[in-house]
Structure 1
Amino acid sequence: MVAFGKKLKERQIQEWQGYYINYKLMKKRVKQYAQQIQLGTLDRRHVLKDFSRMLDNQIEKTVLFLLEQQGLLASRIAKLGEEHEVIQQEPHISRIAELREAYRAVGQELLKLLFFVEVNAVGLRKILKKFDKRFGYKFTDYYVKTRANHPYSQLQQVFKHVGFGAVVGALSRNLHELQENQESQGSFLSIYDQPTLPLQDPVIDSIRAAIDRLSNSTNFLNFLGQHALIMHEELPAPVDERVDEQSYHFMSLFLNLANTFLYMVNTYIIVPTADDYSMSLGAAPTVCGIVIGAMAVAQVFSSVYFSAWSNRSYLRPLIFSSIVLFLGNVLYALAYDLNSIWILIIGRLLCGFGSARAVNRRYISDCVPLKIRMQASAGFVSASALGMACGPALAGLLQTNFKIFNITFNQDTLPGWLMTIAWLIYLVWLWITFKEPYREIEEKHVPHQSNAENNALEKGIKQPLLTSLKDKVDEDDDQDYEDSEEAPEDSHQPANSIGAAYRLLTPSVKVQLLIYFMLKYAMEILLSESSVITTYYFNWTTSTVSIFLACLGLTVLPVNIIVGSYISNMFEDRQILLASEIMVFLGILFSFNVIFPYTEPQYICSGLLMFVSAEVLEGVNLSLLSRVMSSRLSRGTYNGGLLSTEAGTLARVIADATITLAGYGGVSRLLNVTLLPSFFICVGSIIATCYTYNSLY
């Protein structure tokens, strides 16, 4: 398996190799520090000072070369501008075409320069993470804190598009003018005198995309797509790399997203009526926590086996998912006439065992071309959000009561029958239309990895770091160090167990997963107990609860448009993360029923604040998580998507169990008792975020 350092070297532009950050040299220095600290010949303060100076020099070398190349590009554009002036006086189609190609050639050189900066940014992040792994997660915090905004530091220049905007603007303007001249010769209008759409040119589009990646600026689709946590390669793809589109099948992708939508509808369609259904079967209304949470309990297990199954097939797990969900909804609907709360819970458990969200994620990650993968990821999140809104809305419409052949159809059972029909139609559609993609990668590469290599890999991970360094110090020389030391940590071999995946989690990743747990817990408490709380305090009907929950679900896309298009381009992700955590905290705080009588405006406003803030927090949190998580968690059964799903599902399980347990103290105490855990978990996540704030860089 190719080591990260070797892969980094392969991505470098050959003629510029001397100006890249020397990752291999710095990695060797980290190893030397580890050995010297172990022997007691060097203290940590000296290490911090020496390595900081080395990083400063490496960054300065890169930035000065970057500025030099920008100057050369500016000179080329200036010379082309002189030719442009001549052509404007005497337009000629062939000369215009030649000049346009010359400008595009400059654009290609600019794209190479952006690629140069991006590779350096990845290498810098990687060496900071490596240093932290050796020495207790302290260096990144120190280095970023002292260099991020210091006037003498060049650190920001590596992560920001310094001066590129002016070059892109000049290229775009000149190309646009040449296009106008070619299409309408003799016109005296300037391009500034008429409203026009932005220039659609492949080179300019590629440059803008590279700048957005480099500066972490984003748009609505990117921000929304990040909710899916579909991880990508750490290193950017080469400029001339093309994506193989043979495995892409639009209808299969559509069916994959339809599965996501129907599952979310299935999850939330019972929320407004779960308490009434429980009471009609002789249970307490707060047993709705168990009924709703049963699906999440089963999903904890189904996520693992569906993720493993998707290594071999996509069609078969989706078929199995549809059959299990069909049976689960039949049992859920029949529980009323069978008068059994246990049949009701078993039906929901079966629905949870049919959760194929791990397959949905893997299909987008593995089978959708890179150029539309972000749109597909955004589609995955949009389908989830739409299903979340449609579920309660449909429950509000199913207000009827009749019997056919002694089978009852009312507001409690109709959600089950509706989803039964939906999954049956989907199953037939899936069977006829879905196309199983060809698995060339797995067939070619997996068998070549021997058991001995796998065992050695895991052994390397399990060994204490300094001990393993000591054992290998005599084996590694300058040439083979690149492979031997890097293999355990930076191999792209995916983690093969939950334990192996857990060992790859740094404190920053653990904090991100804690935040994800917190927001899912708070949202589940709000949604699952909404029917019980509003009935007790405000006498809301099922239709009113449905409208309230549907309105919450409908806020997801507008909020993401605002955050993705504007707020995320004005502030750093870590700033938005901390601010949204505080807003969730305020939403929880205002939800408590203390001293004053509880009112509808208080409940609606606090619930809306909590839900919207949690939605913003989810997008930013998963964006950061995808950047700080190990690349080994980008593929395989135990991937980053699975870990985040498990964290969120576990939060939902605990939240629903909390509602049921709190119900034994009476409905009058339910609100405050269930909000207390949310309060303390939120405070803990804010403290943990502050502790790791400078490592979220």
Structure 2
Amino acid sequence: MVAFGKKLKERQILEWQGYYINYKLMKKKVNQYAQQIEVGTQDRKHVLKDFSRMLDNQIEKIVLFLLEQQGLLASRLAKLDEQHDALQQLPEISQICELRQAYRAVGQDLLKLLFFVEVNAIGLRKILKKFDKRFGYRFTNYYVKTRANHPYSQLQQVFKHVGIGAVVGAVSRNLHELQDRQGSYLSIYDQPALPLQDPVIDSIKAAVDRLTHSTNFLNFLAQHALIMQEEFPTPVEEQVDDQNYHFMSLLLNLVNTFLYMVNTYIVVPTADDYSLSLGAAATVCGIVIGAMAVAQVFSSVYFSAWSNKTYFRPLVFSSVILFVGNILYALAYDFNSIAVLLIGRLFCGLGSARAVNRRYISDCVPQKIRMQASAGFVSASALGMACGPALAGLLQTNFKIYKLTFNQDTLPGWVMAVAWLVYLIWLWISFKEPSREIEENHIPQESNAVVVENDALENGLKQPLLISSSEDKQQDEDGEQECDESEEASEDSHQPATSIRSAYRLLTPSVKVQLLIYFMLKYVMEILLSESSVITTYYFKWSTGTVAIFLASLGLTVLPVNIVVGNYISNMFEDRQILLASEIMVCIGILLSFHIIVPYSVPQYVCSGLILFVSAEVLEGINLALLSRVMSSRLSRGTYNGGLLSTEAGTIARVIADGTITLAGYLGQSRLLNITLLPSLFICISSIVATCFTYNSLY
């Protein structure tokens, strides 16, 4: 177990140690407050005011040192600018190289300063969270709101690094101009700007992005994978490539993800016809589609546990099971057996290796490309979702070979069986099992969220200030006894959860609400997609090909929507604002989907479905981004990790949604649409209400 205070100290620059937030002192003070309140020698108001004053002093110390260092960097840059101007008159290669090195040295020192700010921001968030947990009062909301919004805010210097941007710009511009541009006069301000070739600028940009939480398309897309990154910044000198990284193995993981999503959605346009051909009702398509999700509820757990020891074997097992499952799915037609059909889909669900795919990226891909790999994981899923229905639309044929029937119902099974067989051969030849040292050396990310709830200090004074500390005590690095609530057995612990029960105990109200939102959006999307064939056939007489085009078109919106949200919307509004707005848009999409009085039309169905699907896609990215921030660091690794919990929440939602379709089908196809939309509306409204109650904790 590595204490947070010790980790914080290890990341400090030695000569600047006196200027960092004194986390150790503040933690001792929190313990003293607890003891004083227990014996009645201290009151609530004094504790809150005294702790606020202590934080103010710590932040002022950090900010004054920060301003001093900015001044020193600015002075060095001013002298270098004079040399730069002189060189423009009589340029010499050797002097240009020396000047470039001097600017790089300033860049390295600037990077150190950015790391200084980031480590202090992490320490500040952590001590605020510790205070809130220890006393049962959400002090953070009061402190951040009163300090951050004040015109003389020093807190903004820590969280928004005010003033550093000018230094970043000066270093970037001059290094850009000193590169050999072969007569070009373009600068960093011209569009399109020429790319910088200096690695220190890339490191500075990454550090600035982390501090401002600014996002781009890749970053936003990668958040969908819920693959957590390291909490503490890594100095440039420590950033080395992982020699055990194997690109082909990563590619095979992404192909597995793609094929599985194709396998999931390739049957959607034809599942109702297949059910009818076997003597069942069209709405049994809900069970046919959902059988895969039912099995995935269990497969996610054992695949996650299996990936603790190996990646190759579970991928081989997954491919074999999926090959068998698709063969059974295809043979059900000639056997005239709905049972064989369902067993085939259950086998396909038992082969779901998404937990392995996610763990491989988290544990075996170097930090510098992990975001791109995570985005690749999400892109492969999105493309598979679009390609599945599109491929089904192309398989419109009917012929026999011996006694085997090949038609629009069975061809999805045959095609996917061949695909998994080819993949299995490729996997056996090309996959390289990574060293387990990678996972052992992997540092999990702490939740970096500041937990906030109440609006004012006065509200907090009415709340209980001390939670009993008789339970969950543990020795910290100073030999003190420290209490923590059950949401984390130890604030400083990095041990993963060892059971479903221990994982559940780590779920705070904020995490539970985010998982509810994830459940809701997956439920709503599954209702829309799974019943699309039945609904459109009943109301509009659509063919299988038309349904396939509609579903493929929905799937193709995923990447463009993420580009818009990742590059623009997420940088204009807070995540929690986008979250709430997206939930409301999903609710509007559901309301527009109801069939009430007037004849149901194609424009109404298509427009409402598009609004619902796109809003749910936006909601998913923001939801998982917030979930990764508010989730305990103990859920970042191990079998029962955050990725598994979110996968289980989404999978259970799909199972219930598909079951709802089948049960509603007994009341007749004329009532199917409205009956399945009612629980969607109820769950959506519940998630909106829950979001409002925990809104201030999503900071």
**Residues 538-557 of structure 1 mapped to structure 2, 5 A cutoff:** 538-557=540-559
Contact kept? 1:275, 1:532, Cα under 8 Å: yes
Task: Please give the alpha-carbon distance, in whole angstroms, between the structure 1 residues aligned to 2:62 and 2:481.
Answer: 22
Given that residues 4 and 492 in structure 2 are in contact (C-alpha distance below 8 angstroms), is that contact kept between their aligned partners in structure 1?
yes
Q: Encode CA deviations 1:263-286: one digit per residue, 9 max, x unaligned.
A: 000000001111111111111111
The letter for the 1-side match of 2:310 is S
Residue in 1 aligned with 2:694? 692
- Cα displacement (A) at 1:206: 0.7
Q: Over aligned residue pairs, what C-alpha RMSD do you find?
A: 2.4
> Are residues 1:266 and 2:268 paired?
no
Residues 135 and 664 (structure 1), Cα distance of their counterparts in 2 relative to 1, 3 Å cut: farther
Question: Cα distance, 1:189 vs. partner?
Answer: 8.7
How far residue 293 of structure 1 moved from its aligned partner, in angstroms, is 0.7
The 5 Å alignment of 1:503-518 reads 503-518=505-520
- The whole-number CA distance in structure 1 between the counterparts of 2:218 and 2:186 is 35
Q: 1:63-105: CA deviations, max 9, x gaps? A: 2222221121111111111111111122111111111111111
Q: Which has the higher helix share?
A: 1
Q: Which residue in 2 is equivalent to 1:407? A: 404
**Residues in 2 aligned to 1:677 and 1:41: alpha-carbon distance in whole angstroms:** 53
Distance in 1, Cα, partners of 2:631 & 2:163: 30
- Find out whether 1:418 has 2:418 as its counterpart: no
Alignment of 1:39-58 (within 5 A): 39-58=39-58
Per-residue deviation, 1:379: 0.5
Specify whether residues 442 and 169 from structure 1 end up closer, same or farther in structure 2 by C-alpha distance, changes over 3 A only: closer
1:142 CA drift (Å) = 3.0
Letter in 2 for 1:117: V
Contact 1:234 1:631 in 2 (8 A): no
Counterpart CA distance in 1 for 2:42 and 2:235 is: 40
1:275 aligns with 2:272: yes
Match of 1:641 among 640, 643, 649: 643
Counterpart residue number, 2:589: 587
In structure 2, what is the Cα distance between the partners aligned to 1:43 and 1:540?
71
Counterpart contact for 1:243–1:370, Cα < 8 Å: no
Q: What residue is the counterpart of 1:314 in the other structure?
A: 311
- Unpaired runs of at least 5, structure 1: 447-463
Q: State the partner residue of 1:609.
A: 611
Instruction: Report what 2:383 is aligned to.
Output: 386
- Aligned residue number for residue 177 of structure 1: 177
Q: Report the secondary structure of 1:505's partner residue.
A: coil
| Paired letter, 2:658 | D
1:124 match: 124
* Contact 1:311–1:636 under 8 Å retained in 2: yes
What residue number does 2:210 align with? Answer: 213
Q: Which moved more, 1:238-247 or 1:615-624?
A: 238-247
Task: Please give the alpha-carbon distance, in whole angstroms, between the structure 1 residues aligned to 2:300 and 2:612.
Answer: 27
Q: Aligned equivalents of 1:230 and 1:249: distance in 2?
A: 19
Offset at 1:50? Answer: 3.0
Superposed displacement of residue 596, structure 1:
2.1
Could you tell me how far 1:37 is from its partner in structure 2?
3.9
Cα deviation, 1:366-421, whole Å, max 9, x if unaligned, reads 11111111111111000000000000000111111111111111111110111011
SS at match of 1:403: strand
Shift of the 113–444 alpha-carbon distance from structure 1 to 2, 3 Å rule, reads: closer
- Whether the 8 Å CA contact 1:591–1:606 is kept in 2: the answer is yes
Identity over aligned pairs, percent: 81
Q: Which residue of 1 aligns with 2:372?
A: 375
How far apart, CA to CA, are the structure 2 residues paired with 1:443 and 1:390?
Answer: 37
Deviation at 1:194, TM superposition (A): 9.3
CA contact (8 A) 2:209 2:215 kept: yes
Further displaced range: 262-271 or 591-600: 591-600
**AA at the equivalent of 1:398:** L
How far apart in 1 are the matches of 2:543 and 2:333? 20
- Cα offset for 1:692? 1.7
Counting only pairs closer than 5 Å after superposition, residues 238-317 of structure 1 correspond to structure 2 as 238-317=235-314
Distance 1:371-1:190 versus aligned 2 partners, 3 A rule:
closer
After superposition, where does 1:130-169 map in structure 2 within 5 Å?
130-136=130-136, 138-169=138-169
Q: Against the structure 1 CA distance between its residues 496 and 421, is the aligned structure 2 distance closer, same or farther, given a 3 Å change threshold?
A: same
The offset of 1:193, in angstroms, is 8.4
> Matches of 1:578 and 1:328 in 2, distance apart?
40
For 1:243 and 1:652, locate their aligned partners in 2 and report how far apart those are by CA, in whole Å.
Answer: 41
Q: After superposition, what is the alpha-carbon deviation per residue over 1:329-361, rounded to whole angstroms, capped at 9, x for unaligned?
A: 111111111111111111111100000000000
CA distance in structure 1 between the aligned counterparts of 2:346 and 2:131, rounded to whole angstroms: 45
> Is the contact made by 2:173 and 2:187 (CA closer than 8 Å) also made in structure 1?
no
Report deviation, 1:364: 0.6
CA 1:194–1:603: 2 relative to 1, 3 Å: closer
Q: Which residue of 2 aligns with 1:434?
A: 431
Name whichever of 158-167 and 221-230 sits farther off. Answer: 158-167
Deviation, 1:677, is: 1.4
Equivalent pair of 1:255/1:434 in contact (CA under 8 Å): yes
Deviation at 1:246, TM superposition (A): 2.1
Change over 3 Å in CA distance of 1:282–1:215 after alignment to 2:
same
Compared CA separation, residues 188 and 265, structure 1 to 2 (3 A): closer
For structure 1, which segment, 134-143 or 335-344, has the greater mean C-alpha deviation from structure 2 after superposition?
134-143
* Cα deviation code 1:473-519 (max 9, x no counterpart): xx77x832399989833222111111111111211111111111111
Partner-residue secondary structure (3-state), 1:606: helix
Matched letter for residue 415 of structure 1: P
Q: Hey, what does 2:61 align to over in structure 1?
A: 61
Q: How far apart are residue 444 of structure 1 and its match?
A: 9.2
Alignment-mate amino acid for residue 481 of structure 1: E
Q: Give the conservation status (yes or no) of the 8 Å contact 1:402–1:408.
A: yes
User: 1 CA distance for matches of 2:583 and 2:363?
Assistant: 33
TM-score normalised to structure 2 length: 0.92
Q: Structure 1 281/148 Cα, relative in aligned 2: closer, same or farther at 3 Å? A: farther
1:659 matches 2:645? no
| Superposed displacement of residue 144, structure 1 | 3.3
Q: Which residue number corresponds to residue 458 of structure 1?
A: none
Change over 3 Å in CA distance of 1:68–1:304 after alignment to 2: same
Select 2:572's aligned residue among 570, 573, 589: 570
1:387 alignment partner AA? G
Shift of 1:191: 8.0
Moved more, 207-216 or 623-632: 623-632
Question: Could you tell me whether the CA contact under 8 Å between 1:233 and 1:631 is conserved in 2?
Answer: no
Q: Secondary structure at the match of 1:272?
A: coil
Alignment CA distance shift 1:565-1:194 (3 Å): closer
Stretch of structure 1 that moved more, 233-242 or 268-277: 233-242
**Offset of residue 580 of structure 1:** 1.2
1:633-658: CA deviation from partner (whole Å, max 9, x where unpaired)? 11111111111111111111111111
Contact 2:363 2:439 (8 Å CA) reproduced? no
Cα distance in 1 for residues equivalent to 2:111 and 2:208 = 9
Amino acid at match of 2:547: V
Amino acid at match of 1:588: I
Which residue identity is paired with 2:394?
L
**Aligned-partner Cα distance in 2 for 1:622–1:681:** 18
What count of residue pairs does the alignment treat as equivalent? 674
Residue among 199, 202, 213 paired with 2:196: 199
Check conservation: 1:3, 1:483, Cα contact below 8 A: no
- Deviation string for 1:199-229 (max 9, x for gaps)? 2311111101110111000111111111111
Residue number in structure 2 paired with 1:459: none
- Does the C-alpha gap of structure 1 residues 607 and 48 become closer, same or farther in structure 2, counting only changes over 3 Å? farther
State whether residues 6 and 482 of structure 1, in contact with CA within 8 Å, keep that contact through their aligned partners in structure 2.
no
C-alpha deviation, 1:442, in angstroms: 6.3
Could you tell me which residue of structure 2 aligns to residue 451 of structure 1?
none
**Which structure 2 segments of 5+ residues have no match?**
444-465
AA matched with 1:113: L
Match of 2:363 in 1: 366
Match of 1:453 in 2: none
Opposite residue 403 of structure 2, the aligned amino acid is: N
Q: Which residue of the partner structure matches residue 454 of structure 1? A: none
| Other-structure match for 1:340 | 337
**CA contact 1:333–1:415 (8 Å) conserved in 2:** yes
More displaced 10-residue stretch of structure 1: 46-55 or 310-319: 46-55
The answer as to 2:347 corresponding to 1:350 is yes
Q: State the one-letter code of the partner of 1:390.
A: C
Distance change in 2, residues 1:46/1:536 (3 Å):
farther
Which letter maps to 2:539? Answer: Y
Question: Structure 1 residue 157: deviation in Å?
Answer: 2.6
CA shift in 2, pair 1:658/1:433, >3 Å: same
Tell me if structure 2 keeps the 8 A contact 1:265–1:388: yes
1:194–1:11 distance in 2 versus 1, CA, 3 Å: closer
Please give the per-residue CA displacement for 1:106-139, whole angstroms capped at 9, x wherever unaligned.
Answer: 1011101110111111112222222232233622
Cα-to-partner distance string for 1:642-686 (whole Å, 9 max, x where unaligned): 111111111111111111111122111111111111112111211
1:98-117 alignment to 2 at 5 Å? 98-117=98-117
2:518 is aligned with 1:525: no
- Residues 664 and 41 of structure 1: CA distance in aligned 2, closer, same or farther (over 3 Å): farther
